[in-house]
Amino acid sequence: MLGLDEALATIEATPKVVRTILGAAAGADMSTAPDRVWGPREVLEHLVDVEGIAFRDRIGRILHEDRPFIRSIDPPSRLEEGGYAERSVESLLTEFESLRTESVKWLHSIDPADYAREGEHDAAGTIKVGELIHYWAVHDLTHLGQMVTALRDGLVPAVGNMHLFLEG
């Protein structure tokens, strides 16, 4: 099992990885593919949107309140209401990088003794600060995987007979 140092390193590295992945696909259609919930662009929109409400706000509440009640969010509705689709990929990337820089600095300021502080999530039950930090890293990796898979699937039709050697 990886510890908090690895989780924090993952959280810190994610914006650079996202910029690299999306930069490699510049000019490609990054919207939702027919067989996917979200394409790379929607993943980026989601990462920007949840930086505060799903992570910093929740962890902050647990740090400052006595066992706060945390409600689930509806990510697709939030993306629509947030007007992210009208923004450029570059502006979303810049905002994500800025928000994440602030978040990483803040995360490093949390006293490790507070990692055990708890909140009550409406669907998940008891959640702890340390668990949310690990979840944040897993959440990032899950969405990075979605981006990579969508871009990979866009390249696969051009590999010809070499498709025999593709894994996954």
The whole-model pTM stands at 0.92
* CA 102 to chain CA mean position, Å: 15
Whether 72 and 121 have beta carbons less than 8 Å apart is answered as yes
What CATH code would you report for 4-26+37-154? 1.20.120.450
Q: Residue ranges of the domains in the chain?
A: 4-26+37-154
Q: Which of 162, 112, 159 is nearest to 133 (CA)?
A: 112
Q: Give the model's pLDDT for residue 7.
A: 97
The pLDDT value given to residue 95: 97
Q: What is the dihedral of CA 80, 84, 86, 87, to 10 degrees?
A: 180
pLDDT confidence of residue 152: 86
Residues of the chain with pLDDT under 70: 26-36, 168
Q: What is the pLDDT of residue 64?
A: 97
pLDDT at 24: 74
